[in-house]
């Protein structure tokens, strides 16, 4: 058996010479695969490319294993995989899909056919926007929670494992709470979280991570006229103050529990149960979570970093002429990772100029910020639009690309007592002439032509001279015609 197409990326090594007994790898004793305790025999070369890879031996008659990197999972993780020579055939691939150092067979993948918009799936501390094309390999675990913690109550398991194409549990659902159902009696109460001092963040499983020393107010939304809810908790560390909110806007529907200057011993479940019997629970974990220090290497990036503690933020800007490649605002999350990698400042560059008009000539192109592109038209055409465009700081040109329009001169008017004798060019249907066209005038008998007898249409759209006029005069010679 050979690796599936698309999984094999890089051949790392080829195992040592074959022996009579199947060699074991470290941590391989517990593998429950058909490869164990099988005597190897010679295999033909596998159907994979060895070009550019490190090969211990090119003689496949002495090779028992081929190791390579495979792209696995929705994030394209690079995992160490292998194929093994067993009974003259290649078995595998087997990959280290878990962090246990063991090789597992690649069984059927899992995927989500349709994910409700209220659910959020997290894989390896990264939120995944799932669709039917995104696959999860056998053995991996994902965490599922409601996007709006407290506004929805999760019903079902928050941790799902892919087991040979089937998830270990049904997909949980998010039940809307009182503030979303107009305080329906059947809805669980909404839990609102306020942290006036300190910081907090939601973990992948939907639990609330709270930094030690923070003040936390948990507010249970329920109509006061129906009775008092009850707060219960699993922590044995201390008692907590409970009661209706004090402000006039909140005292009739917010029943509060307060945790002052939280400590790790405050960690546990906090449940609000209404007199009707509906309830909602939030799990609080008090722990000091820090993210790695952000290193701003790009000299063009201006960073404002609040700190590296959970809940701290960092914002980034670029100078004029540069754009931010990445996210402008980062948050230190409950996973101990920043919400995105630090961005970079890249030079602004305007798009290529591809004029539709084939007659338009593009010259002096500079697509950098502050650069300019210049346009021109061939003889007999005029530019309609700006002759230059400047590259602006937003990466756009300062205007639309111009076009080349043919230049025409207006129809010439024959003078009184005169007429147009001939033209050096074809007149258009409306009487206009193209650039370079010539028109010759003449006068009637007894009239003398005063001015230029021939005028030419110039590239500016004007005639080279004003039309002549005919002056009455009896001449023994002259340029005239009989009327």
> Residue 70 — very low, low, confident or very high, per pLDDT cuts 50/70/90?
low
Angle subtended at Cα 220 by Cα 272 and Cα 265, rounded to the nearest 5 degrees? 60
In percent, the amount of the chain with pLDDT more than 70 equals: 81
Domain-embedded: residue 356? no
Measured CA to CA, the distance from residue 242 to residue 401 in angstroms comes to 68
Q: Are residues 172 and 227 in the same domain?
A: no
Per-residue pLDDT, 86: 72
CB of 466 closer than 8 Å to CB of 474: no
Q: Are residues 271 and 197 in the same domain?
A: yes
Measured CA to CA, the distance from residue 192 to residue 198 in angstroms comes to 16
Measured CA to CA, the distance from residue 398 to residue 49 in angstroms comes to 51
Strands, DSSP E only, in 87-128? 89-95, 104-105, 119-123, 126-128
Measured CA to CA, the distance from residue 215 to residue 194 in angstroms comes to 8
Domain-embedded: residue 111? no
Q: Are residues 125 and 162 in the same domain?
A: yes
Q: Are residues 141 and 45 in the same domain?
A: no
Structure confidence by residue, pLDDT tens digits, 239-267 = 999 999 888 888 889 999 999 999 999 99
Contacts of 444 (CB under 8 A, 6+ apart): 417, 418, 470, 480, 481, 482, 483
* DSSP character at residue 85: E
Average pLDDT over residues 412-428: 83
Q: Are residues 394 and 413 in the same domain?
A: no
Range of the domain at 328: 302-347
Q: Are residues 389 and 426 in the same domain?
A: no
Q: Exposed/middle/buried for 155, CB within 10 Å: 0-12, 13-18, 19+?
A: exposed
Q: How many CA atoms lie within 13 A of 66 on its CB side?
A: 34
Reduced to 3 states (helix: H, G, I; strand: E, B; else coil), residue 236 is coil
Domain-embedded: residue 296? no
- Statement: residue 4 has pLDDT above 90: no
Domain-embedded: residue 85? yes
Token pair for residue 372?
A: 């300019």
Q: Of 134, 152, 176, which residue constitutes the final position of a domain?
A: 176
Q: Are residues 127 and 217 in the same domain?
A: no
Q: Are residues 244 and 228 in the same domain?
A: yes
- Statement: residue 235 has pLDDT above 70: yes
Burial 260-270 (b: 16+ CB within 10 A, else e): eebeeebbeeb
Beta-bridge partners for 420: 441
Q: Among residues 222, 210, 310, 307, which one has the least CA distance to residue 260?
A: 210
Q: Which domain CATH number covers 240?
A: 2.60.40.10
Contacts of 326 (CB under 8 A, 6+ apart): 316, 340, 341, 342, 343, 344
For the ranges 121-130, 194-203, 226-235, 368-377, the lowest mean pLDDT is seen at 121-130
Domain-embedded: residue 263? yes
Measured CA to CA, the distance from residue 455 to residue 420 in angstroms comes to 11
> Residue 474 — very low, low, confident or very high, per pLDDT cuts 50/70/90?
low
Domain-embedded: residue 110? no
Q: Are residues 169 and 197 in the same domain?
A: no
Q: Are residues 316 and 336 in the same domain?
A: yes
Higher model confidence: residue 126 or residue 198?
198
Q: Of 79, 105, 131, which residue constitutes the final position of a domain?
A: 105
For the ranges 51-65, 162-176, 303-317, 382-396, the lowest mean pLDDT is seen at 51-65
Contacts of 404 (CB under 8 A, 6+ apart): 357, 359, 360, 377, 378, 381, 382, 383, 384
Domain-embedded: residue 113? no
Average pLDDT over residues 271-299: 93
Q: Among residues 194, 210, 335, which one has the least CA distance to residue 261?
A: 210
Q: Are residues 401 and 412 in the same domain?
A: no
Helices (H) and strands (E) in the chain, counts: 0, 39
First to last CA, the chain: 104
Structure confidence by residue, pLDDT tens digits, 84-110 = 787 677 766 777 766 677 776 667 788
Average pLDDT over residues 116-140: 78
Measured CA to CA, the distance from residue 95 to residue 103 in angstroms comes to 5
Angle subtended at Cα 348 by Cα 346 and Cα 354, rounded to the nearest 5 degrees? 130
Overall domain count for the chain: 6
**pTM of this prediction?**
0.59
Measured CA to CA, the distance from residue 335 to residue 444 in angstroms comes to 100
Q: Of 147, 176, 205, which residue constitutes the final position of a domain?
A: 176
Per-residue pLDDT, 220: 94
> Residue 111 — very low, low, confident or very high, per pLDDT cuts 50/70/90?
confident
Domain-embedded: residue 282? yes
pLDDT mean across residues, the chain: 82
Q: Are residues 222 and 263 in the same domain?
A: yes
Q: Which domain CATH number covers 375?
A: 2.10.70.10
Per-residue pLDDT, 229: 94
Measured CA to CA, the distance from residue 157 to residue 396 in angstroms comes to 50
């Amino acid at each position: 058996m050979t690796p599936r197409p698309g999984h094999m990326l890089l051949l790392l090594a080829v195992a040592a010479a074959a022996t009579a007994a199947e060699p074991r790898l470290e941590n391989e004793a517990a593998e429950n695969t058909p490869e164990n305790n099988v005597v190897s025999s010679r295999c033909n070369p596998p159907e994979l490319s060895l070009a550019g890879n490190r090969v211990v031996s090119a003689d496949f008659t002495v090779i028992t294993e081929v190791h390579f990197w495979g792209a696995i999972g929705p994030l394209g993780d690079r995992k160490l995989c292998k194929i093994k020579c067993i009974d003259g055939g290649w078995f595998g691939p087997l990959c280290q899909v878990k962090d246990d150092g063991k090789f597992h067979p690649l069984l059927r993948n899992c995927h989500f056919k349709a994910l409700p918009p209220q659910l959020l799936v997290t894989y390896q501390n990264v939120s995944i926007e799932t669709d039917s094309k995104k696959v999860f390999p056998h053995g991996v675990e994902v965490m599922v929670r409601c996007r709006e913690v407290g506004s929805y109550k999760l019903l079902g398991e928050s941790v799902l494992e892919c087991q040979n194409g089937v998830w270990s549990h049904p997909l949980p659902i998010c039940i809307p709470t009182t503030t979303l159902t107009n305080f329906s009696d059947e809805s669980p109460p909404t839990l609102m979280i306020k942290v006036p001092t300190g910081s907090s963040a939601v973990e992948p499983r939907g639990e609330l991570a709270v930094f030690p020393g923070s003040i936390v107010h948990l507010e249970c939304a329920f109509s006061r006229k129906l009775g008092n809810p009850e707060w219960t908790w699993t922590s044995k560390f201390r008692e907590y103050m409970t009661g209706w909110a004090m402000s006039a806007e909140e005292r009739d529907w917010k029943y509060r529990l307060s945790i002052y200057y939280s400590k790790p011993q405050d960690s546990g479940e906090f449940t609000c149960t209404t007199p009707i019997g509906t309830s909602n629970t939030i799990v609080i974990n008090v722990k000091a979570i820090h993210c790695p220090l952000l290193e701003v290497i790009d000299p063009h990036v201006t960073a404002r970093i609040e700190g590296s503690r959970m809940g701290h933020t960092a914002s980034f800007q670029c100078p004029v002429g540069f754009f931010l490649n990445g996210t402008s605002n980062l948050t230190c999350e409950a996973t101990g990772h920043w919400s995105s990698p630090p961005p970079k400042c890249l030079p602004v560059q305007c798009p290529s100029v591809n004029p539709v008009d084939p007659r338009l000539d593009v010259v002096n192109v500079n697509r950098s910020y502050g650069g300019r592109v210049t346009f021109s038209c061939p003889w007999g055409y005029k530019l309609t639009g700006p002759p230059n465009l400047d590259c602006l700081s937003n990466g756009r040109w300062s205007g639309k690309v111009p076009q080349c329009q043919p230049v025409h001169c207006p129809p010439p008017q024959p003078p009184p007592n005169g007429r147009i004798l001939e033209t050096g060019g074809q007149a258009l249907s409306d009487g206009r002439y193209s650039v370079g066209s010539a028109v010759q005038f003449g006068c009637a008998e007894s009239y003398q032509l005063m001015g230029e007898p021939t005028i030419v249409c110039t590239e500016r759209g004007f005639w080279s001279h004003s039309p002549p006029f005919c002056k009455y005069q009896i001449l023994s010679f002259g340029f005239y015609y009989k009327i």
